[in-house]
Chains A and B, each alone.
Chain A
Amino acid sequence: MSVVKCLEHDYGDFKIAIHNWEILDQGVTAFLGPSGSGKSSVIRHLLGLEKSDRLQWFWNEETGQVDLASMLIRDRRLGVVFQNGELFPHMTAKQNIEFAAEAAVASRGAKRSEVAASVGRLIQDLSLERASETLAVNLSGGERQRVALARALVGRPRLILLDEPFSALDAELRREVRAIVFRVLAEHNIPALLVTHDPEDLVGLQGKLTRIQDGRIVEDRSMTRAVEGERG
C-alpha cells in the first residue's frame, strides 16, 4: 500500500492540502477534478518536479516502508505519461523506449538483458511494430501515447502516473488507446494513478476514485460506486 501522509504547498493564491491519501499499489487509482482543482500540480509534487512545503509519501516494499518524498526524482522509480506524450522528437519510437530502458539500467540497477527483452515485448504488446522506426515527431496521436506508455513501463516503475493521457485524442481513438493502455497495465501488473476529468475513462476499471477540488480531497471511495455515481 502507498499513502501520501501529507502534501502541502502554498502557491500564494492557491493551496494544496492533502492528508492520508491512499494510492493503490494494485490496479488503478483515478484522480478526478475540474480544471484548476490542482490535479496536475499534485502529480508534479509526487513526481518531485516541484518542491513542496511538506510531502511525506510512504510506500510499502518487501524490505520495509520507504518515504518516496525523501528520494531524488530518479530514485523514486516512477513512470509518467503526459497529455501529449512528451516524446523526444529527435528519436524514433523505439529509440525513445530504449532511452528509458538504458536509464533504468544505469540508475535503477535493472538487468540489461531483461530490459532489452521488455523493449521488444512492449513494442509487440502495444502494437508498435510498424511505428517503431518512425521519428517521434511523425507519429500519430494514438501512437505517441502508446510509445509514451511503453517508455514509462520499460523500467518497471513502482507506480505509473497518467496525466490526462487520452485528452488530446479524438473520441474513437481515445476508446481504442484507453483499452490498450489498461490491458497492458493489467498484463504487466503495474499500478497506475490516472488523472482525468472524463468519467468515461473510468468505465470498466477496478480500483478507487479520488476527487479533488480547490487543492483538497473531497471524495475518496471505491471505483464501482464512484463510476455509477458519475453516470447518474
Chain B
Amino acid sequence: MSRLSRTLVFLLFLAPYVFSLIVAQGRMALPAGFLGLVQSSFLQAALSALFAVTLGILTGVGLLGLPQRLRRSTEAAVLVGSFVPSIAWVLMWMVLLPNVRGVTAIVILHAVSSAGLIASAVVRKVRTRWAGSLELAMVEGAPRGLMWRRGLLPLLRSDLVTYLLTIFASSLSSFSIPLLMGGAEAWTFEIAIHQAVRIHSAWDQVAALTLWQWITLTVLLFVSRSRVPLRAGAIDHRESRAVEKYGWKPLVLLGVMPVASVLIVLLSSALRGVQQLETAGLLIDGGELGAVVLVSIFVAHLGGLLTAATTLFFALSRPSETERRLLSSYVAPSAVITGLMLLLVGMGSVSALADALRISFGCALVFAPVLWRMRWHVELSTLERQVEVAEIFGASAQMIAWRILWPQLRPLFYWTWGVATFWAFGDYAIGAVAASRPITLALLSRALLESYRLEAAAILIGLGLFLGFLSYLFFSNRGERNVGRKVS
C-alpha cells in the first residue's frame, strides 16, 4: 500500500515530463541559440545565488546583533520577504525603478526575496550550535572580524554551499519574476519552455528543454540536499550576550529595507489607486471585482488544499531517504504542468471553473515540492526514530501513519495549506498560461501592471495578499489548535 502510494505520487510528478514527450511524439530538438540560453540562465542563476547568500549572511549578522525581543520581530519581518508572492516584489520594482529590466532586475529581485530565509537559517545555526564557542571567544577577547573570518564563516561553509546550490537551482527555474521583468530574452529555462509552448508551439523543443532542466536541477538539488545533516544535533538554547556582541545590528537594514519598500510601495500605491480603479471600468466593475475575489478564494484554497494533501500523502507513505531527496530535488516546468492541466481539465475549455481547476492543480504541482523541500523533508526525518521504534513493536503501516505520523505532522499540514493558499492568491504565472482570461486577483493585477496602471494593480495585489495572509493565519492557528498541547 505504501509502495503504491509513493509510486502514485512519483507518477503524478513525472506526468508533466511524460506529457511533453507524448505531445512531441517522442521527438526532441534543442532550440536555436541553446548555448546562449544556457550561458545567460547560468549567469543569471549564479549572480542571483551569490547576491542572495551575501545579502542573507549580512542580514543574519545584523539580526544577531539585536537584543532578543527585537531580533525575533525583525527576523519575522525579514522572513515576510521570502514568503510574499513575487507579484508584490514586481510591483515595488516597477514603481521604484521602472526603467530597469532584464538580468539586473531579475537578479536583485531573486536575491532580496531569498535573503530572509538565508538570514534566518544563519541566525538559527549560530544561536543553537555555536553560542558556547562565542562565549569562549568573548572571554578570550576575540574581535568580531576575526571571529567571523576565522571561526563562524568556516563553520558555516558547508551550509553556505548548500544555500548557494539551492538558490542557484531555484533561480535557474524561476518563472514568475523573469516573466514580467525579463523582457523578450529568456533568462531562465522556464521562460524558454514557456516561449516554446505559447509562442512557437514547438513541443519537440519543450521536451528537450524540459529534460535538460529536469536533469540539471535534479543533480543540483540532490547534491545540495545530501550536504544537509537532517537529524538535528544537540541544541544550545542559551540566549547568550556573546551572540549579540558578535552580530552588528546596522547590517539588518539590508534585509529590512527591501521588505519595507514592498509594503510602503504597496500601501502608498493602493491609497493613490482608488481613483484609477474607478477609471479602469473596462477591466473592473463592482460585480466583476466581487466575482474575481470569489474565484480567487476558491482557486487559492483548492490549490493550498491540494498542495498540503499531496505532501501529506507522500509523507504517510513512508518514503525512503532517497525518495525524499528525489522529491526535494523535483522542479516541474510550470508551462508544461499547465499544458498537462489543459489536457486533463478540459482541453480548450474556457469556462471559469475549468480555468480555476487548472490553476489550482498547477499550483499544487509546483508548490508541493517547494514546501516539501522547505520543511517536510527535515520534519519527517526527525520522526524517523519513532517510526523505527513503532515498527519494532509490531505496529502496522496504518498504525504508524495515523497514530504516529499524522498527529505530529498535522500542524505542518495546516501550515502548508496556509502558505500554499497565500502563494496561490499571488500566482499570476501558472494562471497566465492556464486561464483563458484574468479570472483571479493576481491575473487581473498582472494585466494592470502590464498596462502600467500600477496604483490600481496595487489595490488588487494588496487585497489578494490580505486575503492570503488571513487564510495563512487561519490555517496556522488551526494547526496549532489541533495539537492541543505543545509538542516539542
Q: Give A residues with C-beta under 8 Å from B.
A: 47-49, 73-80, 82, 86, 88-90, 99-100, 102-104, 106-108, 135, 137, 151-152, 155
Contact = CB atoms under 8 A, between A and B. Distances in A.
A230 B389 CA distance: 32
6 contacts: A47-B392, A74-B394, A99-B403, A106-B394, A106-B395, A137-B488
A107 B391 CA distance: 10
Interface string B454-488: 00000000000000000000000000000101111
B389 A104 contact: no
A75 B391 CA distance: 9
A90 B407 contact: yes
B74 interface: no
Kindly state the interface size class of chain B when it binds its partner. Answer: 20 to 34
B403 A73 contact: no
B488 A103 contact: no
A88 B386 contact: yes
In the A-B complex, the 7 residue pairs with the smallest Cβ-Cβ separation, listed nearest first, are A107-B394, A74-B394, A103-B395, A103-B394, A100-B393, A103-B393, A90-B407
Contacts of B389: 80, 82, 86
A49 B485 CA distance: 31
Contacts of A73: 391-392
A80 B389 CA distance: 7
Contacts of A107: 394-396
Contacts of B485: 135
Contacts of B392: 47-49, 73-74, 76, 78-80
For the complex, would chain B's binding face be called helix, strand, loop or mixed by DSSP majority? helix
A74 B486 CA distance: 30
Nearest to A105: B394
A74 B399 CA distance: 13
Contacts of A104: 393-394
Nearest to A89: B487
A99 B408 contact: no
Given A82-B385, A103-B396, A107-B396, A88 B391 contact: no
A143 to B, nearest CB: 16
A103 B386 contact: no
B385 A155 contact: no
A89 B488 contact: yes
B388 interface: yes
Contacts of B388: 47, 49
Contact of A74 (B395, B403, B483): B395
Contact of A77 (B386, B390, B394): B394
Interface string B118-146: 00000000000000000000000000000
Given A86-B385, A102-B399, A108 B488 contact: no
B112 to A, nearest CB: 38
B388 to A, nearest CB: 5
A49 B392 CA distance: 9
Contacts of B486: 137
A107 B390 CA distance: 12
A79 B393 CA distance: 6
Nearest to B395: A103
B165 to A, nearest CB: 24
A204 B320 CA distance: 43
A90 B408 contact: yes
B385 A103 contact: no
A101 to B, nearest CB: 9
Contacts of A99: 390, 393, 395, 399, 403
A133 to B, nearest CB: 12
Contacts of B407: 90
Interface string B284-322: 000000000000000000000000000000000000000
